[in-house]
Amino acid sequence: MVFYRIYGSVTLLALAAQSLAAPVIEERVYSEATTTYTSAAATTVPIVPVTNVTSHGPYTGTPTTTGALSTTVTAASVPALPADPIKYEYPADGQLHMDEPAPYTPGGGQGVNGSAPVYRPQSDFDYESLALALYQEWIELDLFHWGLATFSTEEFEAAGLNAEDRFLLEFMADQEAGHATLLTNILGAQAPVQCTYNYPVTNVQEYIDFSQKLTRFGESGVYGFLPHLDSRESAQLLLQSITTEARQQMIFRQFEGLFPMPVWFEVGIPQSWAWTLLAPYISSCPANQTRLIWQNFPSLNILNQPNPARINGSNAWNETTGGYTNTLSTKGIKEGDACLNATDPSEDCGPAITQNRTQPLSYPGRKVHLNWDEPGMALGPNNSYVTSTTVTEPRFAAWVTQLNVTYSPLMDISGNSAWTIQPNVSVFEGDPAINGTMFLAITDEDLYVTPFNLTQLNPHVAALALYQAG
């Protein structure tokens, strides 16, 4: 068989005519471009107005509105129902069972009947979910700019992050401007706008850890509601932005010296979980800001939250900057215990494409000490949202990760304190379920739920946090 390459303007047909001739030595001709061709975009959408927020810190005013957005509530919770029998009717045997609406087009599917797409909310569920996502995009835009403005070049360099890394951080902020523009245009005139924020960090290491945790629940929060949106068109665009955010989360893990993707599947969480973890870091918003319907659960404080800044990350006690994200604190870590500039490569945790820690951050059988707040705390924009729960007797820790929710019993419960044991569980052989930056909830019941109906767990959640399993 003779293989041909096309050079210059020689056509495939011309080469075919020579296929039975003697082999020809072809002369390769190289040239440099002499002309640059450009074409203006047919349309260009302007970016929504963006400002660098100059005010950061906790809200000190008096809220004029209190509580989540609400209307008539028709039931205390959504009842658990059996599966719809129609879900089992399709034979799934690899054969075609429906007429083809067009050549090479299988029957079925949503939004594929030729109707022009409409990119706007189709229900309250859509609007509230997309508005939550926009709140998330705004804080990420501010957080990335804030870090670059707050910490000096020398501080970034001391954390192992050079000028190219900082440019990547700036570019990620630019991405958020695009994401905010997309969602603003979908939502319309009442779309949430930029607010002011309060971050629980004092140095670059804490900042990077908080950023990788914030992008974790931002990414997972969208995964949780994306397949439930009535507006399939909006879901398509949001999918294309959240895949970028997934890359941001991995970048921050690499900046932190963590293994970039220690799981086989990324977890999705309910909207109220994402809002619970996001709201405490929003200080104030304009008085006429669009409010959200989602619940704010009390904070779960992980007393021995693994600390990625340590050589032995599991050997930590009260080394966080506060609940909810349980962001690492570098305060009190002795020089010999810090991993950032460790001379032993097996102990170093400087920024890298990938890092294998000799000592894991957590492990099955680890005793995890917990306490949690009472409901009724004012937080979020203008301190105008209030934490709540319907749980009266917490009994379990729910480990929410990948495709799985695993429960471990709470031990020695005393008031709002207890401990539990990190379970040893896998969904698929060879993939430990509990790994990465994941979610930990306190519940009153070990309710069976799956990724698609995780919101069924909401009435049973007493408190919520992020757990740094790996």
Average pLDDT in the 153-163 region?
98
Neighbours of 239 (CB within 10 A): 14
pLDDT at 89: 87
- Selected residue with higher pLDDT from 17 and 365: 365
pLDDT of residue 3: 35
- Ranking 27-31, 124-128, 257-261, 395-399 by mean pLDDT, the lowest is 27-31
Which among 268, 270, 274, 321 is positioned nearest to 135, based on CA atoms?
Answer: 274
60-64, 123-127, 258-262: segment of lowest average pLDDT: 60-64
Ranking 16-20, 111-115, 308-312, 403-407 by mean pLDDT, the lowest is: 16-20
For 303-307, what is the mean pLDDT? 97
Three-state DSSP class for residue 394:
coil
Confidence of residue 10 (pLDDT cuts 50, 70, 90): very low
Q: How confident is the model over 154-164, as a mean pLDDT?
A: 98
Residue % of the chain over a pLDDT of 70: 91
For residue 43, is it within any domain?
Answer: no
Count the domains in the chain.
1
Q: For the chain, what is the mean pLDDT?
A: 90
212 falls within a domain? yes
Give me the domain span that covers residue 369: 121-468
Q: Which pLDDT belongs to residue 6?
A: 31
Is the dihedral angle over the CA atoms 161, 163, 168, 170 positive or is it negative?
Answer: positive
Tell me, what's the pLDDT at 28?
58
SS3 58: coil
Q: Are 286 and 63 in contact (CB under 8 A)?
A: no
Structural domain contains residue 85: no
Q: Is the pLDDT of residue 33 over 80?
A: no
Establish if 111 belongs to a structural domain: no
The predicted structure's pLDDT at residue 26:
53
How many other β-carbons are positioned within 10 Å of the β-carbon of residue 383?
18
pLDDT tens readout for residues 418-437: 999 999 999 999 999 999 99
Buried b / exposed e along 117-148 (16+ C-beta atoms within 10 A): eeeebeeebbbbbbbbbbbbbbbbbbbbbbbe
Give tens-digit pLDDT for 91-131: 998 998 999 999 999 999 999 999 999 999 999 999 999 99
% of the chain with per-residue pLDDT over 90:
77
CA pair distance 268, 371, nearest whole angstrom: 24
* CA-wise closest residue to 137 among 196, 179, 199: 179
Give 39's pLDDT tier (boundaries 50, 70, 90).
low
In a domain, 420, yes or no: yes
Q: How many CB atoms lie within 10 A of CB 229?
A: 20
| Structural domain includes residue 155 | yes
Query: Is residue 74 a part of any domain in this protein?
Result: no
Provide the pLDDT confidence category of residue 64 given band limits of 50, 70 and 90. confident
Q: Answer whether residue 236 shows pLDDT above 80.
A: yes
Please say if the pLDDT value at position 456 is more than 60: yes
- Specify the higher pLDDT residue, 79 or 194: 194
Task: Report whether pLDDT(14) > 90.
Answer: no
What's the rounded Cα separation, in Å, for the pair 122 and 86? 25
Assigned domain for 453 exists: yes
* Number of Cβ atoms within 10 Å of the Cβ of 19: 9
